[in-house]
Amino acid sequence: MKQDKKILFFDIETSLMTAVTFGIGKYNMLTHKHLLTKSKIICISYMFNEDKEPSHLMWDKDMDDKIMLEKFLKVYEKADVTIGQNHKRFDTRHINTRLCDHGLPPMSIVLMDDLLLAARGALYLPCYKLEYMLEYFGLPHKMSPSGLDLWIDIGIHNDRKRLVKEMVPYCDNDVSVLRPLYEKLAPYVKLKYNRAIAAGNPALCPSCGHDKLRMIGYRQSLSLGMRVQ
């Protein structure tokens, strides 16, 4: 596969929001008035198509994500296209929310391909979660998280040890498995990133960039013209 442009794979982990309540159950519905804290970004893992291993950024010792976001913006702006799992609805919206809160510049306009949306649009699977698609196609598996206690220890108790030893490797793994899934899905799903145009070679496959195309046949298309009475 021809590597023509800089493709950025990335994933984030966010902190819990804390709230106050008099009890639990259906009669204790929470609203925004119960919230005491905001959800922040704990860490960001990323890798470009030419990288062998993911890199990562973490919030600081005061659980502030501003400096981390400033650093990630510089990484993000180097990309020609981004690849993620549900990152159109989750990752990029969280990042933009935190950028807005800090008064930082917004994310630049970069072509984005979401594997979740692409798979839903072209494949018929019983589940489109990252873990299941990796299992279904026999690809390297997603690492299992430690449970809610990990987010409590890191996001509330500021446990830096668990952040470095457990959450960052978990986030790194989510990025590592994105690339083989992308390469597996690319020939079969509709992606916004046209690799033939990006490489300047119309003979390549527009989805995966492969040069071993085979001619199946011809398809007639309708042309618009003036109708004669």
Mean pLDDT of the chain: 86
What is the distance between the alpha carbons of residues 73 and 70, in angstroms, rounded to a whole number?
Answer: 5
Measured CA distances, 210 to 5, 183, 204 (Å): 14, 11, 6
Write the pLDDT tens digit of every residue in 51-85.
999 999 999 999 999 999 999 999 999 999 999 99
Residue 192: pLDDT band with limits 50, 70, 90: confident
Which neighbouring-strand residues pair with 113? 83
Q: Which residue has the tokens 């498995």?
A: 177
pLDDT score at 35: 93
pLDDT band (50, 70, 90) for residue 13: very high
Does the model's pTM come out above 0.95?
no
Taking the C-alpha atoms of residue 101 and residue 93, their distance in angstroms, rounded to an integer, is 12
- Give exposure, 27-54, as e/b (b: 16+ Cβ within 10 Å): eeeeeeeeeeeeebbbbbbbbbbeeeeb
The pLDDT assigned to 207 comes to 53
Burial of 121 (0-12, 13-18, 19+ CB in 10 A): exposed
Q: In whole angstroms, what is the distance from residue 212 CA to residue 74 CA?
A: 36
Is residue 24 within 8 Å of 34, Cβ to Cβ? no
